[in-house]
Structure 1
Amino acid sequence: MGRILILFLLLGNLNSAFGYSYFYFDSKKVNVSNRSFHNYIRPQIRNLVQDFYSVLKKINPLQEDTINLKILTHRFKKKWKDYLPHCKKEECTDNFEDLKSLAKRINKKTLKLEKKISGLFSKRRNIDSTIQLSDYSGKISDIWYNILNHLENPLLLKEKKQVGIYLNQALINTEIILISPLDDEIQKNFYFVWSNFIKKLEQEIIEKQNLKFLVTRLEELNITWNSFYMKVPRWKELISGTPKNQLKIMHRRWNSILKIILVR
């Protein structure tokens, strides 16, 4: 028993020394006020998410295109959702020029992205990822062409469900290519932390303001983040300077959130 206790303490000290916070706690005993959540925790999480996307852009400039495409697609989704209740059963006669304008803008973005991706093949690096990126960006371009076609054709616009289907396809494909511009060596790790940490924080905390989700899933979120962050030192050749420093800032932000929630 004594040896087990010593081993436990040593592991705990190692985790503390390297800044990796693994812990177990009873979520039922956690008491976070709404004031703390809205005034500190949620703003910190918003900054943390913004830092993540900033890191991606600095590692590979093409990430700015995939991130902007994601943002615009979600913006269109919200506008479409707000617009649907104003549609009659058979016709949508309300003014929806802003929807068409946004769809045209996204369509241009997809074509611009395709052009940039085609230039990557000459560099002969990450060929598999580039092929995948090219394939999915082509699919996204086709989807937005179809959405735009429905918006501009009154007869097709009656098929509002089809626009919704196209939009869901666009969202899925946009998420698939979000991290694809990164080097193969780090791509899977960044996609892992985005899908299991960043995306959940965006959806549940920033958008839905769901404090209960944060408390009940805190342990899982923390393990996900630390599993990612502990690998950062291995990527010296790929991540250095500003991106590396921003990841450190993200880690400090996350630990400060943990302190607010757990130190009571």
Structure 2
Amino acid sequence: MKIFILLFFLFLSSSSYSYSYFRIPIEGLSLSSESFRRYATPQLRSMVNEYFLVMKKVSPESAKILSLRKYALSINSKSESITLECRDFNSKCSNQLKSIKKEIVNFEKSIFKEIEDVKITSVQIDDQIEYLRLLKDLAVKISSLSHSIEEYSLLKDSELERYSKNMYDISDGTNEALFLLNLKINTLMPSHLRPEFEKVWKGFVLPIEQNVLRKNDKEFLLSHLERFNIDWNSFHKNITKGNFDLPKSKTLYSDIIHNRWNQILKIILRK
């Protein structure tokens, strides 16, 4: 049965515009740790990055949200690393903390610059108001985070440390900022395209980034393979062959992602 599925898949993938919605049985799926590390993970990371390029091609305005999200993702990753690795504070941890503080300052500056630059016009006014609301919510969270990390830096290793915020509080704060940006990432996407981008973001890109790449979870990829396959193929078909009339130049990276995904499926289903 599995051989039949693989042959069927190879037949479908002979065209760059094939869409493989066939049933993928979870039972018996396998991917060696070596193949996951050396092939699947780099391909998936490239796919996530290329998806953001798709967003920027289709909606250049989205680059602003993606830039802010890059700050939030980096700060969140570093704060989680300190929380896990720096129970006994040392010089390495101190340098990591300084790095986070510097990024938070830059993040805060970027947010306030964006707030100053927002211009409410009669075109897509609701989206612009929603974007301004996102920026103000982020400003509140990052200002609080900046205060917390400054307080922690001043009071750590002192008798007052127990009264200050700690790295767990700071890590939670970075999680909240990242969650907000993940939730509102498609705010500046054209309204007629937003539902397609929302579905593939929530069903494919974000779960892969958070669970497969950040947690290095091979089993999550295998157990959700069929759902991922359906969600990606649906998006790619609609965005390239649907009724949106997008020029090829705007969907080029979607084709690249599609080819990468098909190659990953081949690796998993080849046995």
Which category of TM-score, normalised to the shorter sequence, fits these structures?
A: 0.7 to 0.9
> What's the offset of the Cα at 1:25?
3.0
1:54 equivalent in alignment to 2:64:
no
**Range moving further from structure 2, 179-188 or 61-70:** 61-70
Q: Give the alignment's TM-score, normalised by structure 2.
A: 0.80
Please list every run of 5 or more consecutive structure 1 residues that lacks an aligned counterpart in the other structure. 1-12
Q: What is the CA–CA distance in structure 2 between the aligned matches of 1:227 and 1:248, rounded to whole Å?
A: 13
Contact 2:149 2:165 in 1 (8 A): no
Q: Secondary structure at the match of 2:80?
A: helix
Q: What is the CA–CA distance in structure 1 between the aligned matches of 2:262 and 2:86, rounded to whole Å?
A: 45
Q: What is the CA–CA distance in structure 2 between the aligned matches of 1:125 and 1:73, rounded to whole Å?
A: 29
Q: Percent identity?
A: 24
**2:109 alignment partner in structure 1:** 108
> What's the offset of the Cα at 1:114?
2.1
Q: What is the CA–CA distance in structure 1 between the aligned matches of 2:57 and 2:175, rounded to whole Å?
A: 29
Q: Give the alignment's TM-score, normalised by structure 1.
A: 0.82
1:159-201 CA deviation, whole Å, 9 max, x = no partner? 2354344333212211122121110111121121112101111
**Range moving further from structure 2, 79-88 or 181-190:** 79-88
**Range moving further from structure 2, 189-198 or 145-154:** 145-154
**2:254 alignment partner in structure 1:** 247
The runs of at least 4 aligned residues of structure 1 exceeding 6 Å deviation read 13-17
**1:9 alignment partner in structure 2:** none
Q: Following superposition of structure 1 onto structure 2, how do residues 145-160 of structure 1 map, counting pairs within 5 Å?
A: 145-153=143-151, 154=154, 158-160=164-166
Pair 234,24 (structure 1): closer, same or farther in 2 beyond 3 Å: closer
**2:197 alignment partner, one of 184, 190, 195:** 190
Contact 2:54 2:250 in 1 (8 A): yes
Q: What is the CA–CA distance in structure 1 between the aligned matches of 2:172 and 2:135, rounded to whole Å?
A: 18
Q: What is the CA–CA distance in structure 1 between the aligned matches of 2:165 and 2:50, rounded to whole Å?
A: 40
**2:7 alignment partner in structure 1:** none
**2:124 alignment partner in structure 1:** 126
Contact 1:137 1:177 in 2 (8 A): no
**1:234 alignment partner, one of 214, 221, 242:** 242
Q: What is the CA–CA distance in structure 2 between the aligned matches of 1:52 and 1:40, rounded to whole Å?
A: 18
Number of positions where the alignment pairs a residue of Structure 1 with one of Structure 2:
245
Contact 1:133 1:181 in 2 (8 A): yes
1:221 equivalent in alignment to 2:228:
yes
**2:180 alignment partner in structure 1:** 173
Decide which structure has greater helix share.
1
**2:77 alignment partner in structure 1:** 78
**1:139 alignment partner in structure 2:** 137
> What's the offset of the Cα at 1:88?
7.6
**1:258 alignment partner in structure 2:** 265
Q: Secondary structure at the match of 1:203?
A: helix
Q: Following superposition of structure 1 onto structure 2, how do residues 197-208 of structure 1 map, counting pairs within 5 Å?
A: 197-208=204-215
Q: What is the CA–CA distance in structure 2 between the aligned matches of 1:224 and 1:169, rounded to whole Å?
A: 26
